[in-house]
């Protein structure tokens, strides 16, 4: 009568009901269940039904193995705990007895029945139903073999910030090849822009540059700077990545990095990227002295030659003749086994909060601008001065949480701003002796030696004012000193409004996901949180992996982090990658979709349902195909195929429908008779 | 302003309604709505302030004479004529609370009158009875927050 | 024992969130009615309306579909497909005489065992309110001669 | 285009200049403002301070009237910022808060009235001119460009905030009056305090506080180099205009900063006579400032950008907020 | 002369289109006559039920039964012809899955009668309703009793073969007849019982000439609401709800080719339990919205989904029958 168990009629099924001590037997009448299965499921091919104290015990497993051989069982059902706990165990037992492990099915009568049900009778009935369902389902099972895929030992690291550098070095040092792709002309990332790093105040360059040059020279690391990932195809172990190496207009094989081209270039350009807009560079430039690689790039949008066709100063002066004005973008294909995304963060655009006057009032700076200003190699050679470039401020106000912890912008905490602002406070004091006012909502200094640093800054006499600054206005308007900035704030500790005049305001702006984060996520088949950060496989237990096998994340790409955590994540991701590479090949659960070309009409409805791009269209035969290794087995396409041409191993229509029938076969409650499934 | 809004809300959370309703803070609110568009938690502070005023008034905490009196005077005219009557309101209010700069206020008043910006008689709407029916019923349905 | 109507409910869970939530409810010993019987799918995106119809046609009084919260799908966005299918399915069921409230979609993350248990309890009560579906009785009326007033009673 | 019009009490008395100028230009703008029959006061900020439901009912009566009287025109236009916010908020809340809607309509019922939430769209005349008509169109109508006149925009509060229907891109940095000023050909003065409070009803409660607020505005306007201020709100106009003398006395200053309604400025640019648009009703006379009208000297446009000096650090680039097409 | 095998064709609740389709095979009809003795075919020849009743069980070799079971008469004839025929073929959509008449199952019989006898469109001043039994002087008059639900043939009697379509395409019928004759001549084997004849392996899209791309639907529309239709692009991609993807091939995609959406008359493709379910699933999958509110808005434009997806298959659908009438192979 069952519509879906048409084929493979006569099976020999064994049913094993576990007491789990009293965990199950305490509520479910296991004896009754076993007996019932034996008698009432005979038509379903049940030949043995037994209960036992602990099925997962070696004795319990033995029992099953023996029966498989003695009773010639070709299907096994174990009614015990959740398959997430012991599926492997019992599949193992089946395998040992020479039965294909995938012909063994579990019914979770502990997690789903005994532990959650009060009424013992109803519990027993539900257990019966689940057993009958498992039997009905397992009858539809077919032998399966796990899928094996080899793993390419090279790795792609996207993003040359500290996290990416760290990851690359770890992998390279364990003897495997790494491609490090960086969008900018040099690796180094945000850390290279900083002057000092909290809480130890050692200079960023001093600790970063050795790592950079190590990565630059490492035999196992191939740097692709001034390059961007165009396309990603493949799956764990076998990714094919297309990278665009943007035209540098400099022949790196000839360039000696002498820098004469930069000196001679007549075109001065505001450096929006590395100097955060407060410094200048040339049209041909290396972002900073210690850049790795040392070769400059030519910014064609600002180059006189590309505008007017004249100039060519760089070309004239370059002794080795490395300037290549006819340079073209180059597309390269990389074959890698794993990918680490360390794409970092963007900073909040302070113009979005006009009341703080950034962009309107000259002496309002962002934290990143200020980092550059403090940096000895920065536009002011480390002098802390007003926008005029010479006057040192006598008083400085630092606003925390600009664009963070605010439902209008980003509701999350950017994690680093408190410490960064305290660091600024210290540096201002140290270098200018100016009065410093830090305006904070809550002070968050929770990490090793962070709070000690906070104490230190307090002792230095920094004024900490608890309150969100309402607005920054030009003091010139009123009788307050002209040219000064007035910070209007409610000091919530004294409950008073205060107007504090300062010469300079620093906005500790939020860390935001990269503007193109979602696009990148889509490209690599991973997902973003509602805030736009990459989502980890598990926020606590698997913070550097993603839902897509072989794609890992490190550093701020998955959320605001300080340098130590970013470095730690870099190493962690590297470790995960290396452990994959060491396995050489991988076996994947054979839960996969496949398309019957006969039945496929080529309607293409399934084509863009797959987030892992596993479905492609065969233009020749006009049918769609599923790439087995790409498929993650979610079954969405199976459910969506209008022609019923797609089947999903492990969860076929027949199996699920049979399971439903099985469940419906047993009434919820003895008293309430129910029409049986047909 | 005896309590900042933040403290006011803290007091509410702490259940100190007595102190909250006695506070003059809500009566200082001119409803410029800056708080409402700036609050990082998107709290409707201005509306809350209205609510607190209403509560305070209805529970008889009319300690802050000037502000409540201004409101009541204003309300009186509306309920009687259906429209505000600036001259009347000003006159009544200033009789109760004479302005410090009496002279200046007087000057301003006269200037306004000379410029034809103050009417001597109130405007009255047709539907005053209807309006009062509505308001009486509304008062029966009152809920402060 | 008691007369109150015990609905038969088939539930579908996704392997990564809601099924684990069910496990969690278990380990947390959170009690809920035994009326709901769960079928594990890899993802709520695997949910085929055929399954729901099969359940209802086969004697279920309600169907509960559970999956990861939007944006948290293990397969990135497949749970949205479940959402859309269920929405459309309900629209199709109503004219057929099946109250759309008998089909319900619930999000539950792997951590929300208690939440899932509560949702199940709630749903069982809702279905108890709606009463038995008796679908087969309604679709397969006896073939004897029917008088007009009998016709009136015949659903849908 | 036909609109229902809610003038509010002030336009019938203290701000008659606003009403005059509005009627003077409405034809040219292609608006047809028909005043709502028998409208009642919106209660300003006073009535709602004493009663909640009654005050919403008070306001809703006007919405109900508008609903009855709307033939074709379903937009209700207010000129007074306070009236606008009261009407807009009530309309909005009655749409979102079922319980409030029920109570208010119950009350209206007592007067044999009813308001169907969402049936009337409430807009401020400034919003209408800038977002529906557009400054460009208005520029085309200008017959007497006011070049040389340095005008500072003053919005006050309620036309921008709380902005219940999201009429403005960013209530913190509005561009509407700026666009209109540029359209009239006048010179736009960058006035940082343009969205600050004029002290509302404070003059009657704590005079000192309000006088200080007024002082900051006037002083700010003067220091920004404005000849006059334009505003959208009767109360702002009244406070800055009417109390300026007392303010000067209180602080021993001698500022004279005229403030008129933006509709008056537009009227002048349309070539209407000062009298026709109600100039002269202001207490701090705008005459001296307006004497500049017609003077053809091109005053350098006031801008906030400073070109980087040699030693100086470059300023962040700002997106151009308005005036591109003007 | 030797006895020719007997052939019968009967129409139950149907429109008669199936008969036309049979006649549409042109000269081929002569082969039928050559090889068969037509014993019962109300549309084509005069015959009485009692003649059939008098036949031996299994006397008729082949009966093409079209039309669905709406009343006791249909039911009686179905059982009768089942008894008398060796091979009973459910012929055409009505017999297969209920077809248009099956849509009546969305209403109670009472509602059906109301519509038939007491709506303005009916001229029935005395509000007369049919009586299944009436006593008159001469005795009791009866008319066939109206069944509360309409059922496809297979739900009433055992069916040997299925030929779907509304009506079945003539070239398919011809092909089937060729097979049967070949069998008679011992040149071929009968297909296994329960087989579907005159149907392709895939769906209508397989035969559809229109070009297809990856699918994302943002707005549904109806053909009458469209200004112009791209003659070469998949109709679904133009927002039209076409049942082609979930309908068995065999018709040659006549409708989509001509610019009309596939109505789904050939029923679900091989191995599919419920065509409607497939349409729900696939269409919902390609709606390009994530926000519940937006989804609702988009689906609002999909007018009467039940009617659209189940225009032909309702009575045979998984839910309506509670039985997989459509259980192929």
Bridge partners (DSSP) listed for residue D187: D150
Asked if residue A670 has pLDDT above 80, the reply is no
Q: Worst-scoring range by mean pLDDT, B104-108, D69-73, D268-272, E31-35?
A: D69-73
Q: Give the Å distances, CA to CA, from A440 to A398, A426, A474.
A: 9, 16, 21
Residue A547: predicted pLDDT: 77
Give residues 187 to 216 of E whose Cβ lies within 8 Å of A: 201-206, 208, 212-216
Taking an 8 Å cut-off on Cβ atoms, the answer to whether B32 and D197 are in contact is: yes
Nearest CA in chain D to B100: D207
Bridge partners (DSSP) listed for residue C142: none
Q: Which residues of D245-282 are buried (b: 16+ CB within 10 A; e: fewer)?
A: bbbbebbeeebebbbbbbbbbbbbbbebebebbbbebb
| Residue A388, token pair as written in the block | 């005029």
The backbone torsions φ and ψ at residue A149, rounded to the nearest 5 degrees and listed phi first, read -130, 135
The answer to whether D231 touches D191, Cβ cutoff 8 Å, is no
Q: Quote the CA–CA distance of E147 and A251 in Å, as a whole number.
A: 88
Task: For residue A292, give how far its alpha carbon lies from the nearest alpha carbon of chain D (Å).
Answer: 26
Average pLDDT score, chain E: 91
The backbone torsions φ and ψ at residue E138, rounded to the nearest 5 degrees and listed phi first, read -70, -15
D272-D278-D280 Cα angle (round to 5): 115
* Complex ipTM value: 0.65
Q: Which residues of C touch E241 (CB under 8 A)?
A: none
**Residue E71, exposed/middle/buried by CB under 10 A (0-12, 13-18, 19+)?**
middle
Asked if residue A2 has pLDDT above 80, the reply is no
Give residues 95 to 114 of C whose Cβ lies within 8 Å of A: none
- Give mean pLDDT, residues A553-562: 97
Taking an 8 Å cut-off on Cβ atoms, the answer to whether D161 and B75 are in contact is: no
Contacts of A639 (CB under 8 A, 6+ apart): C45, C46, C47, C48, C81, C85, E281, E285
- Give mean pLDDT, residues A578-607: 92
Task: For residue E105, give how far its alpha carbon lies from the nearest alpha carbon of chain C (Å).
Answer: 8
Which member of B50, B111, B133 has the closest CB to residue D49? B50
The answer to whether A553 touches C102, Cβ cutoff 8 Å, is no
Q: Quote the CA–CA distance of C21 and C116 in Å, as a whole number.
A: 7
- Interface A–B counts its CB contacts (< 8 A) at 20
The answer to whether E174 touches E197, Cβ cutoff 8 Å, is no
Residue A406 near chain B (CB below 8 Å): yes
Q: Which residues of C touch A112 (CB under 8 A)?
A: 22, 26, 38
Local confidence band at D286 (pLDDT 50, 70, 90 cut-offs): very high
Q: Which residues of A touch D316 (CB under 8 A)?
A: 277, 350-351, 358-359, 366
Give residues 364 to 383 of A whose Cβ lies within 8 Å of D: 366, 373, 379-380
Taking an 8 Å cut-off on Cβ atoms, the answer to whether E319 and C96 are in contact is: yes
Asked if residue E97 has pLDDT above 80, the reply is yes
Per-residue pLDDT tens over the stretch A329-358: 999 999 999 999 999 999 999 999 999 999
| Residue D45, token pair as written in the block | 């900020």
Residue D278: predicted pLDDT: 92
Task: For residue C91, give how far its alpha carbon lies from the nearest alpha carbon of chain A (Å).
Answer: 18
Residue C142 near chain E (CB below 8 Å): no
Give residues 38 to 67 of B whose Cβ lies within 8 Å of D: 44, 46, 50-51, 53-54, 57-58, 66-67
Q: Which residues of A touch D220 (CB under 8 A)?
A: 477-478
Task: For residue E140, give how far its alpha carbon lies from the nearest alpha carbon of chain C (Å).
Answer: 16
Asked if residue A476 has pLDDT above 80, the reply is no
Asked if residue B132 has pLDDT above 90, the reply is yes
Average pLDDT score, chain A: 93
Per DSSP, which regions of E115-172 are E strands?
A: 133-136, 139-142, 146-151, 161-163
The answer to whether A186 touches A292, Cβ cutoff 8 Å, is yes
Local confidence band at A147 (pLDDT 50, 70, 90 cut-offs): confident
Local confidence band at B62 (pLDDT 50, 70, 90 cut-offs): confident
| Residue A619, token pair as written in the block | 């233009």
Q: Give the Å distances, CA to CA, from E229 to A553, B53, E305, E309.
A: 47, 63, 22, 22
Taking an 8 Å cut-off on Cβ atoms, the answer to whether E285 and C148 are in contact is: no
Residue A588: predicted pLDDT: 79
Q: Which residues of A touch C7 (CB under 8 A)?
A: 668
Asked if residue D322 has pLDDT above 70, the reply is no
Asked if residue D320 has pLDDT above 80, the reply is no
The answer to whether C59 touches A667, Cβ cutoff 8 Å, is no
- What pTM does this model have? 0.72
Residue A675: predicted pLDDT: 41
| Residue D40, token pair as written in the block | 């009642």
- Interface A–E counts its CB contacts (< 8 A) at 91
Taking an 8 Å cut-off on Cβ atoms, the answer to whether D51 and B74 are in contact is: no
Give residues 506 to 545 of A whose Cβ lies within 8 Å of C: 525-527, 529-530, 535
Per-residue pLDDT tens over the stretch C48-78: 999 999 999 989 999 999 999 887 788 888 9
Asked if residue A83 has pLDDT above 90, the reply is yes
Task: For residue A551, give how far its alpha carbon lies from the nearest alpha carbon of chain D (Å).
Answer: 37
Nearest CA in chain B to A404: B40
Nearest CA in chain D to B66: D205
Residue A301: predicted pLDDT: 94
Peptide bond into C156 cis (omega under 30): yes
Q: Quote the CA–CA distance of A393 and A286 in Å, as a whole number.
A: 31
Residue with tokens 């769209």: D121
Task: For residue B65, give how far its alpha carbon lies from the nearest alpha carbon of chain A (Å).
Answer: 24
Q: What percent of chain A has pLDDT over 70?
A: 97
Which member of E145, E283, E320 has the closest CB to residue C88? E283
| Residue E102, token pair as written in the block | 């099956």
Task: For residue A599, give how far its alpha carbon lies from the nearest alpha carbon of chain E (Å).
Answer: 4
- Give mean pLDDT, residues D128-133: 93
Q: Worst-scoring range by mean pLDDT, A86-90, A650-654, D302-306?
A: D302-306
Which member of E201, E205, E324 has the closest CB to residue A603? E205
How are the residues of chain A apportioned to helix, strand and coil, as percentages rounded to the nearest 5? Answer: 30, 25, 45
Local confidence band at C140 (pLDDT 50, 70, 90 cut-offs): low
Nearest CA in chain A to B37: A408
Residue with tokens 């959509």: E93
| Residue E165, token pair as written in the block | 């379509």
Q: Quote the CA–CA distance of C89 and C65 in Å, as a whole number.
A: 12
Local confidence band at A678 (pLDDT 50, 70, 90 cut-offs): very low
Q: Which residues of A touch D223 (CB under 8 A)?
A: 476-477
The answer to whether A411 touches A348, Cβ cutoff 8 Å, is no
**Beta pairing class for E139-142 and A104-108:** unpaired
Instruction: Please provide the DSSP assignment of D25-74 as one string.
Output: HHHHHT-EEEEPTT-----TTTHHHH-SHHHHHHHHHHHHHHHHH-SS--
Q: Which residues of C touch E318 (CB under 8 A)?
A: 50, 53-54, 57
How are the residues of chain B apportioned to helix, strand and coil, as percentages rounded to the nearest 5? Answer: 65, 0, 35
Taking an 8 Å cut-off on Cβ atoms, the answer to whether C46 and A674 are in contact is: no
The answer to whether D181 touches D144, Cβ cutoff 8 Å, is no
Instruction: Please provide the DSSP assignment of C9-61 as one string.
Output: EEEEEETTTHHHHHHHHHHTT----TTEEEEEES-GGG--HHHHHHHHHTT-S
Task: For residue B79, give how far its alpha carbon lies from the nearest alpha carbon of chain D (Å).
Answer: 9
Q: What percent of chain A has pLDDT over 90?
A: 87
| Residue A122, token pair as written in the block | 């109803």
Which member of B93, B112, B135 has the closest CB to residue D14? B112
Local confidence band at E111 (pLDDT 50, 70, 90 cut-offs): confident
Q: Worst-scoring range by mean pLDDT, A92-96, D12-16, D303-307, E244-248?
A: D303-307
Residue A621 near chain B (CB below 8 Å): no
Which member of B4, B6, B41 has the closest CB to residue A407? B41
Asked if residue C144 has pLDDT above 70, the reply is no
**Higher-pLDDT residue of C110, B139:** B139
Q: Worst-scoring range by mean pLDDT, A109-123, C85-99, E1-15, E155-169?
A: E1-15
Residue A400 near chain B (CB below 8 Å): no
Q: Quote the CA–CA distance of D50 and B27 in Å, as a whole number.
A: 11
Asked if residue A82 has pLDDT above 70, the reply is yes
Asked if residue A210 has pLDDT above 60, the reply is yes
**Residue A625, exposed/middle/buried by CB under 10 A (0-12, 13-18, 19+)?**
middle
Task: For residue E149, give how far its alpha carbon lies from the nearest alpha carbon of chain C (Å).
Answer: 7
Per-residue pLDDT tens over the stretch E52-72: 999 999 999 999 999 999 999
Q: Which residues of A touch D313 (CB under 8 A)?
A: 278-279, 373, 379-380, 385, 387, 389
Task: For residue C156, give how far its alpha carbon lies from the nearest alpha carbon of chain E (Å).
Answer: 6
Per-residue pLDDT tens over the stretch E166-208: 999 999 999 999 998 999 899 999 999 989 999 999 999 999 9
The answer to whether A228 touches A243, Cβ cutoff 8 Å, is yes
Local confidence band at D300 (pLDDT 50, 70, 90 cut-offs): very low
Q: Which residues of D touch A476 (CB under 8 A)?
A: 223
């Amino acid at each position: 009568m069952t519509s879906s168990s048409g084929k493979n009629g006569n099976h020999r099924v064994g049913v094993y009901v576990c007491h789990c001590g009293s965990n199950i037997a305490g509520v479910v009448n296991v004896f009754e269940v076993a007996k019932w299965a034996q008698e009432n499921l005979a038509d379903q091919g049940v030949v043995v039904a037994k209960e036992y104290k602990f099925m997962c015990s070696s004795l319990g497993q033995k029992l099953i193995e023996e029966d498989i051989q003695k009773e010639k069982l070709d299907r096994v059902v174990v009614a015990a705990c959740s398959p997430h706990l012991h599926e492997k165990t019992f599949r193992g037992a089946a395998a040992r007895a020479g039965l294909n492990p995938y012909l063994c099915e579990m019914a979770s009568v502990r997690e789903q029945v005994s532990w959650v049900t009060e009424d013992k009778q109803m519990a027993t009935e539900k257990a019966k139903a689940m057993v009958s369902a498992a039997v009905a389902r397992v009858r539809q099972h077919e032998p399966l073999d796990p899928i094996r895929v080899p793993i390419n030992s090279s790795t792609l690291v996207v993003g040359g910030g500290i996290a990416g550098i760290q990851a690359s070095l770890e992998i390279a040092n364990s003897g495997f090849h790494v491609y490090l792709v960086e969008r900018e002309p040099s690796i180094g990332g945000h850390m290279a822009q900083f002057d000092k790093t909290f809480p130890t105040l050692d200079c960023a360059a001093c600790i970063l540059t050795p790592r950079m040059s190590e990565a630059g020279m490492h035999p196992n690391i191939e740097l692709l700077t001034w390059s961007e990932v165009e396309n990603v195809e493949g799956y764990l172990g076998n990714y094919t990545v297309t990278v665009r190496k943007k035209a540098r207009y400099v022949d790196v094989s000839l360039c000696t990095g002498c820098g004469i081209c930069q000196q001679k270039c007549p075109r001065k350009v505001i450096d929006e990227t590395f100097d955060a807009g407060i410094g200048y560079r040339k049209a041909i430039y290396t972002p900073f002295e210690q850049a790795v690689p040392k070769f400059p790039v030519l910014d064609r949008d600002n180059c006189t030659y590309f505008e007017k066709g004249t100039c060519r100063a760089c070309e004239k002066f370059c002794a080795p003749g490395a300037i290549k004005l006819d340079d073209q973008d180059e597309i390269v294909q990389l074959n890698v086994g794993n990918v680490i995304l360390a794409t970092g963060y963007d900073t909040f655009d302070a113009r979005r909060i006009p009341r703080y006057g950034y962009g309107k009032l000259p002496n309002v700076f962002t934290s990143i601008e200020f980092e550059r200003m403090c940096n000895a190699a920065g536009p002011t050679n480390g002098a802390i001065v007003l926008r005029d470039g010479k006057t040192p401020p006598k008083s400085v106000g630092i606003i925390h949480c600009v664009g963070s912890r605010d439902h209008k912008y980003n509701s999350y905490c950017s994690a680093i701003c408190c410490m960064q602002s305290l660091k600024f406070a210290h540096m201002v004091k140290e270098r200018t002796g100016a009065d410093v006012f830090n305006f904070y909502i809550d002070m968050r200094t929770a990490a090793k030696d962070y709070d000690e640093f906070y104490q230190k800054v307090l002792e230095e006499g920094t004024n900490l004012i608890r309150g969100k600054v309402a607005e920054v206005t030009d003091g010139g308007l009123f009788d307050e000193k002209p040219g000064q900035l007035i910070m209007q704030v409610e000091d919530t500790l004294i409950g008073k409004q205060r107007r504090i005049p300062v010469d300079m305001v620093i906005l500790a702006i939020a860390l935001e996901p990269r503007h193109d984060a979602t696009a990148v996520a889509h490209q690599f088949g991973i997902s973003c949180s509602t805030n736009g950060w990459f989502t980890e496989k598990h926020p606590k237990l698997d913070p550097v992996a993603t839902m897509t096998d072989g794609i890992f994340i490190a550093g701020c790409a998955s959320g605001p982090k300080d340098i130590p955590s970013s470095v730690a994540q870099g190493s962690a991701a590297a470790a995960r990658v290396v452990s994959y590479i060491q396995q050489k090949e991988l076996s994947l659960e054979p839960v996969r979709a496949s398309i019957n070309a006969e039945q496929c009409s080529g309607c293409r409805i399934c084509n863009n349902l797959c987030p892992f791009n596993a479905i492609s269209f065969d233009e020749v035969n006009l049918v769609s195909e599923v790439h087995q290794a790409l498929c993650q087995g979610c079954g969405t396409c199976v459910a969506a195929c209008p022609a019923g041409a797609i089947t999903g191993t492990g969860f076929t229509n027949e199996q699920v429908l049979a399971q439903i029938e099985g469940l419906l076969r047993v009434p919820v409650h003895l008293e309430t008779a129910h029409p049986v499934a047909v | 302003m005896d309590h900042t809004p933040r403290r006011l809300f803290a007091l509410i959370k702490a259940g100190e309604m007595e102190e909250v309703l006695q506070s003059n803070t809500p009566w200082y609110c001119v409803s410029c709505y800056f708080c409402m568009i700036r609050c990082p938690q998107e709290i409707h502070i201005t509306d809350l302030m209205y609510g607190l005023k209403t509560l305070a008034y209805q529970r008889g905490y009319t300690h802050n004479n000037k502000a409540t009196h201004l409101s009541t005077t204003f309300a009186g005219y509306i309920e009687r004529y259906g429209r505000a009557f600036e001259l009347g309101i000003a006159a009544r209010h200033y009789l109760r609370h004479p302005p410090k700069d009496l002279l200046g206020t007087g000057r301003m008043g006269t200037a306004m009158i000379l410029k034809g910006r103050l009417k001597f008689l109130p405007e009255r709407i047709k539907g005053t009875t209807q309006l009062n029916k509505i308001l009486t019923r509304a008062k029966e349905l009152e809920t402060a927050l | 024992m008691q007369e109150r109507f015990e609905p038969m409910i088939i539930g579908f869970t996704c392997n990564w969130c809601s099924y684990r939530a069910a496990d969690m409810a278990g380990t947390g010993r959170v009690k809920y009615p035994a009326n709901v019987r769960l079928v594990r799918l890899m993802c709520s995106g695997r949910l085929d309306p055929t399954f729901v119809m099969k359940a209802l046609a086969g004697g279920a009084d309600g169907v509960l579909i559970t999956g990861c919260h939007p944006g948290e799908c293990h397969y990135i966005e497949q749970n949205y497909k479940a959402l859309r299918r269920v929405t459309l399915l309900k629209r199709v069921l109503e004219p057929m005489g099946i109250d759309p409230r008998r089909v319900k979609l619930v999000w539950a993350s792997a951590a929300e065992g208690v939440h899932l248990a509560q949702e199940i309890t709630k749903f069982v009560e809702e279905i108890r309110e709606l009463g038995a579906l008796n679908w087969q009785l309604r679709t397969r009326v006896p073939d004897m001669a029917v008088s007009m007033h009998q016709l009136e009673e015949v659903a849908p | 285009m036909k609109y229902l019009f809610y003038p509010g009490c002030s336009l019938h008395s203290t701000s008659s200049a606003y009403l005059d100028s509005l009627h003077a230009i409405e034809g040219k703008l292609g608006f047809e403002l028909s005043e709502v029959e028998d409208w009642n006061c919106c209660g300003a900020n006073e009535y709602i301070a004493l009663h909640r439901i009654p005050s919403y009912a008070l306001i809703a009566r006007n919405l109900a009237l508008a609903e009855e009287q709307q033939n074709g025109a379903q937009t209700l236009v207010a000129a007074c910022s306070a009236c606008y916010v009261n009407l807009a908020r009530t309309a909005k809340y009655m749409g979102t808060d079922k319980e409030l809607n029920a109570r208010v309509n119950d009350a209206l019922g007592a007067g044999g009235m009813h308001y169907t939430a969402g049936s009337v769209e409430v807009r401020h005349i400034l919003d209408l001119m800038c977002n529906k008509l557009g400054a460009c169109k208005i520029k085309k109508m200008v017959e007497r460009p006011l070049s040389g006149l340095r005008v500072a925009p003053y919005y006050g509060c309620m036309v921008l905030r709380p902005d219940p229907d999201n009429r403005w891109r960013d209530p913190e940095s509005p561009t509407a009056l700026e666009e209109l000023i540029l359209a009239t050909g006048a010179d736009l003065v960058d006035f940082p305090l343009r969205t600050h409070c004029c002290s509302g009803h404070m003059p009657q409660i704590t005079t000192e506080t309000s006088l200080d607020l007024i002082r900051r505005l006037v002083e700010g306007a003067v220091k920004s180099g404005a000849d006059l201020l334009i505003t959208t709100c009767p109360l702002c106009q009244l406070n800055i205009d009417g109390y300026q003398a007392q303010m000067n006395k209180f602080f021993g200053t001698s500022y004279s900063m005229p403030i008129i309604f933006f509709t008056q400025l537009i009227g002048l640019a349309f070539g209407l006579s000062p009298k026709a648009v109600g100039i002269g009703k202001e207490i701090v006379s705008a005459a001296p400032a307006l004497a500049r009208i017609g003077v053809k000297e091109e005053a350098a446009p006031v801008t906030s950008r400073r070109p980087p000096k040699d030693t100086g650090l470059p300023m962040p680039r700002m997106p151009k907020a308005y005036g591109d097409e003007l | 002369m030797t006895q020719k095998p007997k052939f019968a064709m009967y129409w139950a609740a149907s429109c008669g289109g199936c008969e036309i389709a049979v006649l549409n095979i042109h000269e081929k009809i002569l082969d039928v006559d050559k090889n068969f003795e037509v014993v019962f075919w109300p549309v084509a020849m005069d015959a009485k039920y009692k003649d059939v009743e008098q036949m031996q069980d299994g006397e008729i070799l082949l009966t093409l039964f079209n039309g669905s079971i709406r009343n006791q008469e249909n039911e009686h004839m179905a059982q009768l012809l089942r008894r008398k025929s060796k091979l009973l073929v459910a012929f055409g959509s009505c017999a297969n899955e209920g077809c248009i008449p099956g849509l009546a199952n969305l209403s109670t019989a009472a509602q059906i009668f109301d519509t038939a006898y007491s709506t303005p469109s009916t001229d029935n001043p005395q509000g007369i309703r049919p009586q299944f039994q009436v006593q008159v002087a001469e005795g009791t008059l009866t008319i066939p009793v109206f069944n509360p639900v309409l059922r496809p043939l297979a739900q009433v009697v055992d069916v040997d073969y299925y030929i779907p379509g509304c009506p079945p395409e003539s070239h398919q019928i011809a092909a089937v007849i060729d097979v049967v004759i070949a069998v008679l001549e011992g040149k071929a084997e009968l297909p296994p019982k329960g087989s579907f004849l005159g149907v392709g392996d895939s769906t209508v899209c397989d035969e559809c000439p229109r070009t297809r791309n990856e699918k994302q639907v943002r707005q549904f529309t109806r053909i009458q609401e469209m200004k112009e239709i791209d003659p070469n692009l998949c109709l679904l991609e133009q927002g039209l709800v076409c049942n082609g993807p979930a309908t068995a091939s065999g018709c040659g995609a006549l409708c989509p080719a001509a610019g009309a959406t596939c109505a789904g008359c050939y029923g679900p493709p091989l191995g599919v339990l419920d065509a409607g379910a497939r349409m729900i699933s696939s269409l919902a999958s390609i709606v390009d919205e994530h926000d519940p509110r937006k989804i609702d808005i988009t689906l609002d434009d999909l007018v009467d989904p039940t009617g659209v997806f189940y225009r032909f298959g309702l009575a045979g659908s998984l839910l309506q029958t509670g039985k997989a009438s459509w259980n192929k192979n």
